Amino acid sequence: MAIREQVQAALGTLPGAEKKVAHAFLANYPSIGLSTIAELAALAGTSAPTVLRFVSRLGFDSYPEFQRVLRKDVQAQLMSPLERARSSAPAADNPALKASFSVISANLEATLKAITESEFEAACELLSDHKSTCYFLGGRFTDTIAAYMAAHLRIIRPNVRHFSGQTSTWRDQLLDVRPGDVAVLFDIRRYQADLVRLGELMVERKARILLITDPWLSPIARSARVVLPCVVDANRTWDSSVTLLALAEALIDRVSRAQSSSARTRMQTLEDIHWNNPPQR
């Protein structure tokens, strides 16, 4: 796991003072982790020994080792597809299809470990709140998954919308966002600036953010109500979106089961619309 993901996973078990360090680190990631021990301690309102205990609890022998791994995390986060293509080498002794599926399988297992059941259930609660409108949007490659998820949930619950059109129209669509509404945002490395800004505007309008991202976490995570990190690194030119789609389908299934009665009613109504009003030829 990336360091940021490790810190998030450890939050529930940290003593009070070390939890302050964790919160300071997450709120000012990655810059504060690359500063001095004294600066991190001052920002967290703790002491240098507390910072060292925090680092040790994460499994690092020293603060320099912690920073070295953090730098590698940041470099991996910023790598372009071209850089990943140059740095990855195909396994000569492993058929391409088998190798690809092996990586995908490992990513699914790692994602399952990275997302707690409590966070998954919290996400499902947001998606099941019929009193709120639920908005969906993703980045350049992930918006297709956002649209896929919205298309399914629109059938089983009311008030589901997918942000559409050019980015210049997104702010127009913010006009209808009300306090308590839910925004499901997909954002993986290299994070999309206009999507990050939209997330900030959503928060300003008091919407609740459900972020589906990667282990390095989109900047949207700073203000998200629920964050679900998926492992996407496939050791190849392009990151894999399989875990994102698998998570989307798991959320759709869980919400469908939780809303079984109302979902069946809506689905039956939709069936009646389709079969009682066949397309004209």
Q: Which tens digit of pLDDT belongs to each residue from 70-100? A: 988 887 766 665 555 555 555 555 567 888 8
pLDDT over 90 at 218, yes or no = no
Q: How confident is the model at residue 281 (pLDDT cuts 50, 70, 90)?
A: low
pLDDT at 239: 84
Distance CA 20, CA 225 (A): 19
Q: How far is CA 36 from the centre of its chain?
A: 29
Instruction: Please report which confidence band the pLDDT of residue 66 belongs to, taking 50, 70 and 90 as the band edges.
Output: very high
The single-letter code of the amino acid at 237 is T
- For residues 114 and 123, the answer to whether their CB atoms sit within 8 Å is no
The whole-number pLDDT of residue 83 equals 54
Least confident of 54-68, 103-117, 125-139, 141-155: 103-117
User: What integer pLDDT is reported at residue 31 of this predicted model?
Assistant: 86
pLDDT in tens, 129-145: 989 999 999 998 999 99
